[in-house]
Chain A
Amino acid sequence: MTRPRIVQVVAALGVAALLAPLLASCSGDADDGANQGAAEGEPAPGVTDTTVVVGTHHPLTGPAAAGYASISAATSAYFAYLNDNGGVNGRSIEYIVKDDGYNPATTQSVVRELVLEDRVFAVLNGLGTAPHSAVLDFLDENEVPDLFVASGSPIFNQPEKYPWTFGFNADYTAEAKALATYAQEQHPGATACLLGQDDDLGEDFGAGLRTVLGDDGLASEQAYTTSNPDVSAQVAAMKQAGCEVVFLAAINAFSALAVGTAAKLGYQPQWLSSSVGGDYGTVSQYLGENAALLEGFVSANYLPSHFSETDEWTTLFRQINDEYNEGAPFDGNTVYGMSVGYLFAEALANAGGTPTRQGIVDAVTSGDLRGNGVVPLALSTTNNGAYQGVQVTVVAGGVQEYVGEPYTAEAGDGPVAPYTGGPVALEDDGVPTS
């Protein structure tokens, strides 16, 4: 039986390889390659006279879904609003959202599907440092615009190494420096500690804190992993170390867990959280009836506050949420998702009547985009990060509102400076025009 078996294996391999293209759903030429950026004047992949197709990977299932699944729905709702108002340069935007369960292995295959099968024009707001770093090289090699990644990791701001990739979130180090500066002003001489996620989030945030507080400015540094939902040991250690001020570099679920665990131990430090895990709307849902524990909770933010009754952006987004998002809970994620959509629409409008992949990257780095944050966009030809400044928010009476002035902070160990230019004003009802 030896001969036929190997013959079968080899034959099966060969035949399968030969027949595979017949099985492949014929989606155009095999050689119009996602590998070549479209030449000037030719329509880019994913762009027709009437549509622009973009895609993303988000955790719709799995451990991170509860904190983030509502973001892509909000972005889609904003695009629906935009399309109803004429789209961008006569083109409507189609947004393909694929679930990767926050698992980098799955991200690999869904992003390849987006780029090679669905032929998206760009990837927009891929979520998560770990999942997205798995596809960085792939997107770079295929020269796909990789716009506004949902992470504040400096990995996504390397114009030299990854010219096609642009971050969206406020840089983790910038956030940390602004929060540390605020803590020094409000609680001079207090013992400071850090509870951070066991990856770039915790590491970069810690590095930012140390540039302001000094190398021995943190009395205790604790880390957690997302696969182990128990932080009692870490919280107990911080209580033991006498921490009066605790910085949180955690995702929403773990911010809630830390606050709840500390309360059980009768320990109530002053929390100062990264924007990643500091959205009151989301964290309070985790805490349920114990949401009152968040009184005085300090966090960073750089987008319009979802509590504001007066902010024009918030008002518009609330309308869009009611009309196009089935009135889903309106929280920081909603504002975030719609802000991402708006920034992309702005970039597309600036890319001209015939958008190309190079064209939209040029538009993003041109310095003409405004965004909708409390500080101006930092995007330039030498900076691939969208937001590099934050303003401090404090929870008072169940409402999370901005206090004081925003800070701008350069990435790395650059200085922190107050910014007095005021937030970006709403124009054209949030429908960008070129």
Chain B
Amino acid sequence: MSAHVPVHVHGSWRRPGPATRRLGLTVAGLALAIGATFVLEPYRAYQVAIVAAYLCATAGLTLLVGRGGQLSLGHAALMAAGAYGFGLSSNALSAAGASGAVRLVVPLAAGVLAAAALGALLGAAGARLRGPYLAGLTLAVVVAVPAITSTFSRTLGGDRGLWIEIERRPDALRPWVGAEQWQAWVAITAAALVLLVLGNLASGSAGRQIAAVRDDEAAARLAGIDVTRVKVVSFTLSAAAAGLGGAVLAYVTQIANPGAYSLVFSLFLVVAVVIGGLGSLAGAFWGALLLVALPEATTSIAETLPVSPTLAQRLEGNLALLVFGLLLIVLMIVAPRGIHGALARARGALRRRWSARGPAPAPAPVPEGAAARAPTTG
């Protein structure tokens, strides 16, 4: 997994600082996405919310693995921490009679904190463990989730999970905004926040330090980088993002239960970021989209196959696994940098055809989006 840091050629005209520009773009993108939910059917809006929740987790994971070189197979457990943190605090607030925005914002923050605390622990261990040993540790954590929820079933609800009293959409919005649409708003906002923070971090000096630690710890130490701190902080941040994803998922589905954060789902997250393009936030988006779109596509394929109903039923859950696996193999052969890498290469080729030399203009978003839709149309 080599670093993906091509030399960037700046245009000749003066722009505002990168952080300001990113903030502006995030707000614009957020407004666009929220506006788009008005033309979505409720079920699609629900799916958008799920994609956005997954995006929080995949964004944190792709930076941790791709930039930091710390393989985590247990990110589902961090999402679970976020979900249970959200659930417990939301129920506590409801019991105390709180309502309004506080019953949404505080539980979301609690979910982030719970996951960040667990992430800091794992990061501290990760600072002493390498490669497969860290992977094994994180794997153990995700395997332990059902055991933990059963052990503390009085509090966490055991296998059945924790049913959550949530703050529904504001009454003032009800005539215009559907329930699923509101959930999509909350999820998209959370995802935008994660992308903004992680995007700034990855492109700043912190991002360079993380990459330096991954490439050569000894050299990083010589350069005055506190390696342990960098590892712990990067794991904690990645965990916090996953926690926000889990908290949003808990808000949308109104339940936190161990079945949603299984080992299989945890591995799916890793596969998704690899397929999307390791180390890039755009890749994290493609990964999150795949996590939702693939099972649905395979289900509809399974329905059209001329097989007996019992076989179709067996295929339903397992066909998605098969397709995911095949996609992973094919993509790693054809496009080692995942979907995002392939798209970037295609765009680079296009750009070279258009202008033989000179500064590259900012890419126009629409053709890229249009081109990118083709392979994922379900």
**Chain A residues within CB distance 8 Å of chain B:** 1-21, 23-24, 27, 30, 33-35, 60-61, 99, 101, 103-106, 108-109, 112-113, 116-117, 129-130, 133-134, 137-138, 141-142, 198-200, 225-228
Stretch binding the partner chain, chosen from B67-75, B120-128, B362-370: B362-370
Q: Are A228 and B150 in contact (CB under 8 A)?
A: yes
Please indicate the chain B residues that have their CB under 8 angstroms from the CB of A16 in the complex: 285, 289, 369, 373
**Cβ-closest 8 pairs across A and B:** A15-B369, A11-B365, A130-B160, A10-B29, A105-B260, A17-B36, A116-B43, A2-B203
Chain B CB count within 10 A is highest, among A12, A27, A109, A116, for A12
CB distance from A306 to the nearest CB of B (A): 24
Please indicate the chain A residues that have their CB under 8 angstroms from the CB of B29 in the complex: 9-11, 13-14
Is B158 an interface residue, CB under 8 A from the partner? yes
Please indicate the chain A residues that have their CB under 8 angstroms from the CB of B192 in the complex: 13
Please indicate the chain A residues that have their CB under 8 angstroms from the CB of B36 in the complex: 14, 17-18, 20
Please indicate the chain A residues that have their CB under 8 angstroms from the CB of B163 in the complex: 133-134
CB distance from B85 to the nearest CB of A (A): 17
Q: Are A108 and B8 in contact (CB under 8 A)?
A: no
Known: A14-B33, A105-B253, A116-B46. A8 touches B363 (CB 8 A): yes
Residue from the list A24, A142, A227 in contact with B146, Cβ < 8 A: A227
Supply 8 A–B pairs (Cβ within 8 Å), ascending by A.
Answer: A4-B362, A5-B280, A6-B195, A12-B286, A14-B29, A17-B36, A20-B36, A105-B260
**Number of residues from B at the complex interface, CB < 8 A:** 76
Please indicate the chain A residues that have their CB under 8 angstroms from the CB of B42 in the complex: 33-35, 116
How far, in angstroms, from A137 to B340 measured CA to CA in the complex? 39
Please indicate the chain B residues that have their CB under 8 angstroms from the CB of A133 in the complex: 160, 163, 255
User: B255 — nearest CB in chain A belongs to which residue?
Assistant: A134
Known: A7-B365, A104-B160. A12 touches B150 (CB 8 A): no
Is B28 an interface residue, CB under 8 A from the partner? yes
Please indicate the chain A residues that have their CB under 8 angstroms from the CB of B345 in the complex: none
Is B229 an interface residue, CB under 8 A from the partner? no
Chain B CB count within 10 A is highest, among A5, A23, A227, for A5
Q: Are A21 and B253 in contact (CB under 8 A)?
A: no
How far, in angstroms, from A282 to B282 measured CA to CA in the complex? 51
Q: Are B362 and A9 in contact (CB under 8 A)?
A: no
Please indicate the chain B residues that have their CB under 8 angstroms from the CB of A19 in the complex: 369-370, 373
Q: Are A13 and B22 in contact (CB under 8 A)?
A: no
Please indicate the chain A residues that have their CB under 8 angstroms from the CB of B50 in the complex: 109
Q: Are A30 and B179 in contact (CB under 8 A)?
A: no
CB distance from A180 to the nearest CB of B (A): 25
Please indicate the chain A residues that have their CB under 8 angstroms from the CB of B18 in the complex: 2-3
Known: A18-B32, A99-B313. A104 touches B255 (CB 8 A): yes
Q: Are B160 and A7 in contact (CB under 8 A)?
A: no
CB distance from B313 to the nearest CB of A (A): 6
Please indicate the chain B residues that have their CB under 8 angstroms from the CB of A105 in the complex: 161, 253, 255, 257, 259-260
User: A28 — nearest CB in chain B belongs to which residue?
Assistant: B41
How far, in angstroms, from A134 to B253 measured CA to CA in the complex? 7
Q: Are B178 and A33 in contact (CB under 8 A)?
A: yes
As a 0/1 sequence over residues 300 to 322 of chain B, the CB contacts with chain A under 8 angstroms (1 = contact) are 00000000000001101100000
Please indicate the chain B residues that have their CB under 8 angstroms from the CB of A15 in the complex: 365-366, 368-370, 372-373
Is B153 an interface residue, CB under 8 A from the partner? yes
As a 0/1 sequence over residues 38 to 51 of chain B, the CB contacts with chain A under 8 angstroms (1 = contact) are 01111110111010
How far, in angstroms, from A332 to B36 measured CA to CA in the complex? 50
CB distance from B244 to the nearest CB of A (A): 16
Q: Are B32 and A17 in contact (CB under 8 A)?
A: yes
Q: Are A17 and B281 in contact (CB under 8 A)?
A: no
Q: Are B313 and A23 in contact (CB under 8 A)?
A: no
Q: Are A129 and B41 in contact (CB under 8 A)?
A: no
Is B1 an interface residue, CB under 8 A from the partner? no
Q: Are B161 and A130 in contact (CB under 8 A)?
A: yes
Q: Are B362 and A8 in contact (CB under 8 A)?
A: no
Known: A35-B178, A99-B313. A21 touches B160 (CB 8 A): no
CB distance from B366 to the nearest CB of A (A): 7
CB distance from B120 to the nearest CB of A (A): 27
Chain A CB count within 10 A is highest, among B25, B160, B363, for B160
Residue from the list B6, B33, B46, B153 in contact with A198, Cβ < 8 A: B153
Is B199 an interface residue, CB under 8 A from the partner? yes
How far, in angstroms, from A117 to B359 measured CA to CA in the complex? 48
Q: Are B365 and A14 in contact (CB under 8 A)?
A: yes
Q: Are A199 and B158 in contact (CB under 8 A)?
A: yes
How far, in angstroms, from A141 to B178 measured CA to CA in the complex? 10
Please indicate the chain A residues that have their CB under 8 angstroms from the CB of B257 in the complex: 103-105, 130, 134
How far, in angstroms, from A184 to B178 measured CA to CA in the complex? 54
CB distance from A355 to the nearest CB of B (A): 22
Please indicate the chain A residues that have their CB under 8 angstroms from the CB of B221 in the complex: none
As a 0/1 sequence over residues 150 to 167 of chain B, the CB contacts with chain A under 8 angstroms (1 = contact) are 100100011111010010
Known: A16-B369, A105-B259. A9 touches B195 (CB 8 A): yes
Is B352 an interface residue, CB under 8 A from the partner? no
Please indicate the chain B residues that have their CB under 8 angstroms from the CB of A109 in the complex: 46, 50
Is B91 an interface residue, CB under 8 A from the partner? no
Q: Are A61 and B44 in contact (CB under 8 A)?
A: no
Q: Are A6 and B281 in contact (CB under 8 A)?
A: yes
How far, in angstroms, from A129 to B281 measured CA to CA in the complex? 39
User: B364 — nearest CB in chain A belongs to which residue?
Assistant: A11
How far, in angstroms, from A227 to B153 measured CA to CA in the complex? 12
CB distance from A156 to the nearest CB of B (A): 13
Q: Are B41 and A7 in contact (CB under 8 A)?
A: no
How far, in angstroms, from A35 to B46 measured CA to CA in the complex? 14
CB distance from B113 to the nearest CB of A (A): 23
How far, in angstroms, from A388 to B363 measured CA to CA in the complex? 67
Please indicate the chain B residues that have their CB under 8 angstroms from the CB of A106 in the complex: 259
Q: Are B368 and A20 in contact (CB under 8 A)?
A: no
